[in-house]
Amino acid sequence: MSKLYLIPTPIGNLEDITLRAKRILSEVDLVLAEDTRKTGFLLKHLEISKPLRSHHKFNEHKALQQVIDQLLSGSVIGLVTDAGTPGISDPGFLLVRECIRNNINVETLPGATAFIPALVNSGLPADRFVFEGFLPPKKGRQKRLLELQKEYRTIVLYESPYKLVKTLRDLKTHLGEERNAAISRELTKIYEENLHGTLATLSRHFSEYPPKGEFVIVVQGR
């Protein structure tokens, strides 16, 4: 029976793979991977051999119908991204939507994602929060920042090392220098770091010490 599995993969520490994820990866007919090299390394570590096919933001529109046709023919396919849960700031949404339209069974496994440990580590209220993913780099960025000025819930963002300083400066300008925040870097990896302070102090810190790794920014609501 055809099925699409969305399979979370570790965000750093390979021990974070679940027993169920390992089993499903060993059972599917094909693994769609954001980066076949990274997924190939993970499968080798798990001692699993499966066909791999690239499925990323640059080809997902073009490849969509081919995947749907394969599922409709009876295949069982697993979708993974480089790290974390497919569909969370990574490819997945388009394929899931098309599967639903075609009455193809979709099952998402629980597992690793970066923003939950970062949110809990922050010490900021986690009972109500809003996940914003990556801010728009240019078009729509100002509008999104103005919307966040009115947000009372805790705000969670992703950011790359190349844009972290700019994003912190923008947040400081729009939300206020004294707004409390926390930044988690390289979660579950050897150089994991969790910093707490105001947007002003965190902005100053990363202006002095060039950012390295992938970041989650958690900011106190209004």
| Structural contact between residues 91 and 98, judged by C-beta atoms closer than 8 angstroms | no
Average of per-residue pLDDT across 137-154: 95
Q: Is the pLDDT of residue 38 over 90?
A: yes
Is the Cβ–Cβ distance between 118 and 182 less than 8 Å?
A: yes
Q: What is the pLDDT of residues 153-208, one digit of tens each?
A: 999 999 999 999 999 999 999 999 999 999 999 999 999 999 999 999 999 999 99
pLDDT for 106 equals: 97
The confidence score (pLDDT) of residue 1 equals 80
pLDDT digits (tens, 9 = 90+) for 106-129: 999 999 999 999 999 999 999 999
Question: Is the pTM value of this prediction over 0.85?
Answer: yes
Note every long-range contact of 147-153, with CB atoms under 8 Å and residues 24 or more positions apart, other chains counting: 148/174, 148/175, 149/174, 149/175, 149/222, 150/222, 151/221, 151/222, 152/221, 152/222, 153/125, 153/128, 153/129, 153/221
* Residue 20 identity (one-letter amino acid): R
Query: Percentages helix, strand, coil for the chain, rounded to the nearest 5?
Result: 35, 25, 40
Interval 46-62: pLDDT, tens: 999 999 999 998 998 99
Instruction: Say what angle helices 141-148 and 164-175 make with each other, to 10 degrees.
Output: 50
The third-level CATH classification (topology) of the domain covering 115-219 is: 3.30.950
Other beta carbons less than 10 A from residue 38's beta carbon: 15
Task: Break the chain into its structural domains and give their ranges.
Answer: 3-108, 115-219
Query: Nearest to residue 4, comparing CAs of 66, 52, 61, 76?
Result: 76
Nearest alpha carbon to residue 148 among 139, 135, 160: 135
108 burial via Cβ count (<10 Å: 0-12, 13-18, 19+): middle
Q: Which pLDDT value is given to residue 183?
A: 98
Average pLDDT over residues 80-87: 94
CATH topology of domain 3-108: Cobalt-precorrin-4 Transmethylase; domain 1 (3.40.1010)
Quote the DSSP letter at residue 155. E
At 209 the pLDDT is 92
Strand ranges across the sheet with 52-54: 52-54, 30-33, 76-80, 3-6, 105-108
- Split at pLDDT 50, 70, 90, the class of 22 is very high
Q: How far apart are the first and last CA of the chain?
A: 49
